[in-house]
């Protein structure tokens, strides 16, 4: 393990990716601490407010504590559109490590301390608001909680299924192998995303958000296991005729024991590599699904469903702050790819020199 980290540290870019991911996961672990508004906050009267500008210099160019102005909503008679204007009357100081809404850290510790809190009587939307008047900045953290964990959870379901399925198929061989492999081939023959949207669309619409999250995870897992099981089967085929397996068989070990204890552990380094390399595809799949409105649904946030706003042309032209979740998806996926490549280089004996 120490050797692993040493090798990881030696290469700067993968190590940077590792740090980035660490930061991202820390941010979502302490989402409530970093958020300014609670996840349920919504004020339709303040839809599409632009990001609050933060000032640190006053009129005489003197350094001041960061402050913001309130925004006033006005209706422009000429363009027939709603405009937000700064109200330069009052300055509001931004508070740090101060009291905000109450929340429970890790569902255990009750507190109301936040990194940044909004000034009293003034709104603070660091990245503006969306159509429902949600604070985009705060929702980035809550959305990340879903987008960055759903992939891992789906992997936790799909990998054991794939490994056992491939292991049984490869070890038993013969007719079992034929039938099992035809089934997994059939699943692989359905274009994955088609299956995904069909499964997501037949979910009943009256579920609560937790049930929906669970089922979306299960659906993502259902797509991925088939391809994985084929690779495991191939590896099992090459292992099963080795002498140590024969000798365990002569001792009289059960088939279940041989598959679980002696064959599958041989594939462990491949499994670790495959896991890190498949997390990004699950993240992308979830975001695509939510982007189409078939995944995580309002009022819950995920980076994908936050990007739904980008389907409106006016939004990407005049409200570019709504595109921020896309950049975060990009950063997360890029980091996972870079890190995954490095882990493969470290663990794969073929590339060892």
Partner 1 sequence: MSTWVYIIKRILGAIPILFIVSLISFFLIRLSPVDPLAQLKLNPAISKETIEKETKRLGLDKPVIVQYALWAKNFIKGDMGYCTDNTKVSVKIKSRILNTLLLSFCVIFFSWIIAIPLGILGAVSYNSTFDKLLTLFSSVGMAIPSFFFAVIMLLFAQKTGLFPVGGLTSINFQEMNLFSKIIDILWHITLPVFVLTTISLSSLTRQMRANLLDVLNSEYVKFAYAKGLTKTKVIIKHALRNAINPIITLLGFEFAGLLSGAALTEYVFQYPGLGKLILEAVMQSDINLVMASLMIGAIMLICGNLLADILLKITDPRVRV
Q: Which residues make up the interface to partner 1 (CB under 8 A)?
A: 182-183, 185-195, 197-199, 201-202, 204, 280, 284, 287-288, 291-292, 294, 307, 310-311, 313, 316-317, 323, 326, 329-331, 333-334, 337-338, 341
| Sign of the four-CA dihedral 17, 19, 24, 25 | positive
Q: Between 123 and 315, whose beta carbon lies closer to partner 1? A: 315
The burial class, CB within 10 Å (0-12 / 13-18 / 19+), for 300 is buried
SS3 46: helix
Q: Between 8 and 284, whose beta carbon lies closer to partner 1? A: 284
Q: Between 187 and 260, whose beta carbon lies closer to partner 1? A: 187
CB of 57 to partner 1, least distance (A): 33
Quick one: which of 226, 341, 218 has its CA closest to 286?
218
CB of 78 to partner 1, least distance (A): 23
Helical (H) or strand (E) element with 322: none
CB of 171 to partner 1, least distance (A): 22
Q: Between 20 and 172, whose beta carbon lies closer to partner 1? A: 20
Q: Between 264 and 275, whose beta carbon lies closer to partner 1? A: 275
CB of 350 to partner 1, least distance (A): 8
145 and 213 Cβ atoms separated by less than 8 Å: no
Q: Between 160 and 227, whose beta carbon lies closer to partner 1? A: 227
State both tokens at 61.
Answer: 């160019």
SS3 240: helix
State both tokens at 142.
Answer: 């809550």
Query: How large is the greatest C-alpha to C-alpha distance in the chain, in angstroms?
Result: 89
Number of Cβ within 10 Å of residue 185's Cβ equals: 12
215 phi, psi to nearest 5 deg? -70, -40
CB of 254 to partner 1, least distance (A): 30
CB of 251 to partner 1, least distance (A): 36
Q: Between 8 and 292, whose beta carbon lies closer to partner 1? A: 292
Locus of tokens 């809404």: 101
CB of 327 to partner 1, least distance (A): 8
Q: Give every strand in the sheet of 63-76, ordered side by side.
A: 55-57, 63-76, 81-93
């Amino acid at each position: 393990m120490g050797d692993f980290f040493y090798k990881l540290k030696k290469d700067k870019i993968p190590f940077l990716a590792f740090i980035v991911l660490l930061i991202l996961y820390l941010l979502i672990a302490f989402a409530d601490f970093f958020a300014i508004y609670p996840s349920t906050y919504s004020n339709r009267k303040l839809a599409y407010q632009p990001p609050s500008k933060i000032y640190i210099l006053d009129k005489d160019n003197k350094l001041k504590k960061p402050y913001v102005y309130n925004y006033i909503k006005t209706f422009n008679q000429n363009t027939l559109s709603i405009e937000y204007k700064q109200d330069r009357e009052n300055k509001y100081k931004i508070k740090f490590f101060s009291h905000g809404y109450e929340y429970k850290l890790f569902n255990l510790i009750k507190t109301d301390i936040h990194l940044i809190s909004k000034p009293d009587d003034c709104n603070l939307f660091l990245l503006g608001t969306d159509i429902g008047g949600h604070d985009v900045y705060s929702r980035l953290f809550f959305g990340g909680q879903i987008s960055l964990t759903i992939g891992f959870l789906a992997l936790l379901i799909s990998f054991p299924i794939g490994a056992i399925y491939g292991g049984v198929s490869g070890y038993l061989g013969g007719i079992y192998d034929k039938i099992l492999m035809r089934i997994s081939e059939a699943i692989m023959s359905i274009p994955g995303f088609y299956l995904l949207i069909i499964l997501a669309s037949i979910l009943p619409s009256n579920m609560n958000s937790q049930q929906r999250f669970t089922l979306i995870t299960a659906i993502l897992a259902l797509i991925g296991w088939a391809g994985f099981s084929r690779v495991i089967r191939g590896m099992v085929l090459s292992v099963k005729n080795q002498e140590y397996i024969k000798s365990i068989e002569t001792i009289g070990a059960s088939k279940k024991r041989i598959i679980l204890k002696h064959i599958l552990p041989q594939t462990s380094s491949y499994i670790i590599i495959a896991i890190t390399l498949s997390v990004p595809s699950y993240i992308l799949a979830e975001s695509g699904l939510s982007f189409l409105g078939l995944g995580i649904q309002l009022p819950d946030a995920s980076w994908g469903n936050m990007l739904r706003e980008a389907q409106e042309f006016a939004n990407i032209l005049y409200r570019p702050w709504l595109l921020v979740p896309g950049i975060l998806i990009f950063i997360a996926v890029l980091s996972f790819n870079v890190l995954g490549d490095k882990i493969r280089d470290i663990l794969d004996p073929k590339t060892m020199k």
